Amino acid sequence: MNGTIKHPKLTLVGAGPGDPELITLKGIRTLATADVVLYDALISEELLRFAPAGAKKVFVGKRAGNHAYSQRQINDLIVDFAFHYGHVVRLKGGDPFVFGRGYEEIYHAESYNIETAVIPGISSSIAVPELEKIPLTSRGVSESFWVITGTNTKGELSADIARAARSDATVIILMGTKKLDEIIEVYKNAGKKDWPVAVIQNGSLPDRKTAIGIIETIREVVAEKQVGNPAVIVIGEVVAEHPEFHKIREFYDYINNL
C-alpha cells in the first residue's frame, strides 16, 4: 500500500448473466476503483480489465460442487483484504441478492464495521428468457412470475416449485437442471403435462443452447439439444410465444385432428 492507509470498504457488484456488455456502467466505474477484486465462476474475465492493473484479482468461484473457497472462507477473505488493501469489489454473476449470498457477505463485513455498498446486476432469471424473446409476463397470459432455486439448503428440490406449479404464473428455476426429472413429475402431478417449457444454457453467450418443448417431452429435447449446466428453466404459457414453440403447437394440433 506504499505506506498509505486505505479506508476498508466492500462493494458487491452484479456482473450480469455472462455477456460482459450486460454489466451496468456504475459497475464498470466501481471496478476502476478496486484495490482487490474477488470474482465468481460465472462472470466474464473480460471484466477484470476494467480494474486497475495493480489491483489484486482472486478467483473465488463455486461451480457444481467444485469450490475454490467455502462461503465462510470468502467472508473472511473480504474482511482481511479490506483491512489490508482497502476497497474490495466482490464481482458476482447476475445480481448479488438473487441466490448470490450477497447479503451474507454484507452482513459479515458490517460486523467488522466495514463500509458496504451494492451495485445491482441483471439477473439471468430475467435476462435469459428475454434474450430468447420469451416474456415473463404477458397480458391475458401471465400476470406474475416466480424465481425459484432448484434446490434448498439440504440439496432437495425446493418445495416452492410445487406451490408455483399450482398457479398460472411463469416459473423461472435457477440451478435446477439436475432436478429436471423431479420438476417434470411435480408439474405432471399438478395436471400440467402439456405446459410449455424452455431450458436455456449459457443464455447470454455465443454458445447458447435452447430446448423448447412441453413438460411431457422436455427431457428428450434437452438430451437431443445437449443442453447442460448452467441453464435456466422457464415454465409457463409465455414460453408458447417462442417461435420454435409454434411448430410444436402445429404438430400437436395435427396429431389431435387425425
Quick one: CA torsion of 21, 26, 14, 169, rounded to 10 degrees?
-80
What type of residue is 39? Answer: Y
- What is the helix (H) or strand (E) element at residue 244, kind and residue range? helix 243-256
Catalytic residue at 175? Answer: yes
d(Cα 223, Cα 197) in Å, to the nearest integer?
Answer: 14
Q: Which ranges in the chain are annotated with CATH 3.30.950.10?
A: 124-257
DSSP code string of 128-150: HHHHTT--S-BTTTBS-EEEEES
d(Cα 124, Cα 94) in Å, to the nearest integer?
Answer: 6
Give the pLDDT score at 252: 58
**CATH of region 9-119:** 3.40.1010.10
Q: Which of 9, 92, 175, 179 is catalytic?
A: 175
Catalytic residue at 9? Answer: no
**Alpha helices, H only, 168-229:** 180-189, 218-225
**Tens place of pLDDT per residue across the chain (258 aa):** 455 668 999 999 999 999 999 999 999 999 999 999 999 998 999 999 999 999 999 999 976 555 679 999 999 999 999 999 999 999 999 999 999 999 999 999 999 999 999 999 999 999 999 999 999 999 999 999 999 999 998 999 999 999 999 999 999 999 999 999 999 999 999 999 999 999 999 999 999 999 999 999 999 999 999 999 989 999 999 999 998 887 776 655 545 565
This prediction has a pTM of 0.91
Phi, psi of 223, rounded to the nearest 5 degrees: -65, -45
Return the CATH class of domain 124-257.
alpha beta
C-alpha cell at 202: 449459457
Give the pLDDT score at 247: 74
Give the pLDDT score at 257: 62
Give the pLDDT score at 6: 84
Give the pLDDT score at 63: 62
Task: Residue 116: name the closest of 97, 90, 98 by CA.
Answer: 90
Q: Which ranges in the chain are annotated with CATH 3.40.1010.10?
A: 9-119
Q: Which of 19, 35, 40, 95 is catalytic?
A: 40
Give the pLDDT score at 1: 46
Catalytic residue at 62? Answer: yes
Task: Residue 40: name the closest of 79, 92, 3, 83 by CA.
Answer: 92
Cα 203 to chain centroid distance, Å, stands at 10
C-alpha cell at 243: 417461435
d(Cα 222, Cα 156) in Å, to the nearest integer?
Answer: 22
Task: Residue 78: name the closest of 42, 131, 37, 26 by CA.
Answer: 37
Q: Which of 62, 178, 188, 225 is catalytic?
A: 62
